[in-house]
Amino acid sequence: MLRDHVRDRCRCIRTGVLSLLGGEHVDVTVKERLLDAAYRRLSAEGIGSLQARGIAADVGLSTSALYTHYGNISGLLNAVRDRAYGEFADALLAPGQTDDPVADLLAMGLAHRIFALVKKNEYALLFSQQVNVPRPGIKASFPEGHGLETMSPAATHAFQVLYDTTQRMLDSGRFGDADAVIVATQLWAAIHGCVSLELTGHLNPESDLGVFASLFVTQLIGLGDSPERVGMSMAKAIRRVPNGIALNPAKSA
């Protein structure tokens, strides 16, 4: 163990010195291997499995390699969460964009539910307080002043996806005046609350799946759309993301 530690430290020191001298780039392969190993652990075993010694052992290194590339275990966990947020944003974008932004937003909500139920461990990490998220200041095109400045860049990107579609929806002429950031936040809070209840067994999808859809329908009608048009948009969304209303998306996906 001591020999491995010394070997890893020597390799890292050599890499750092040569990098400063312009003779060699930092070894990103080791950094990616550690991140991949941590993400595999998260997917298979959950947040509790993200321990420095175990992650390093998975790639045949000592913990000194982890500390060299990520500073500490918190640095690696932040990178893991950033990757999870990237996958989450990709999932929200997967249904695509059409000429019906209301249907697009509803399809995005269904995609959100699928991600949460199929990738339970990754979804849990997104909102876990066990990981310290850096707070560098928000960088996005949506307006500031809504209390979102503390979001990490990766979380900001995921919210940006929701915000952009919400803004398109509000610009469609089917609604009155509304703040897209507030509406997007309300929708995010509603769907997160719903899927969290489902994940913890407090919401039975077999009998209460209609609650999920009605969250959106009620809010959109409240914003000024007609029940008929919302119903047609919902039907379009379900045709595009049928697994979003499956009782068990994990088996349907």
Quick one: what percent of the chain has pLDDT higher than 70? 77
We find that the CATH architecture of domain 82-252 is: Orthogonal Bundle (1.10)
The residue ranges of every structural domain in the chain are 2-71, 82-252
The pLDDT assigned to 132 comes to 52
Lookup result for tokens 């936040």: 185
Q: Which of 89, 107, 100, 105 is nearest to 152 (CA)?
A: 89
> Global pTM?
0.80
Overall average pLDDT of the 104-122 stretch: 94
Distance of alpha carbon 114 from alpha carbon 125, whole angstroms? 16
pLDDT at 201 over 70: yes
Q: What is the pLDDT of residues 214-227, one digit of tens each?
A: 888 899 999 999 99
Amino acid at 180: A
The pLDDT assigned to 207 comes to 65
Per-residue confidence at 205, pLDDT binned at 50, 70, 90?
confident
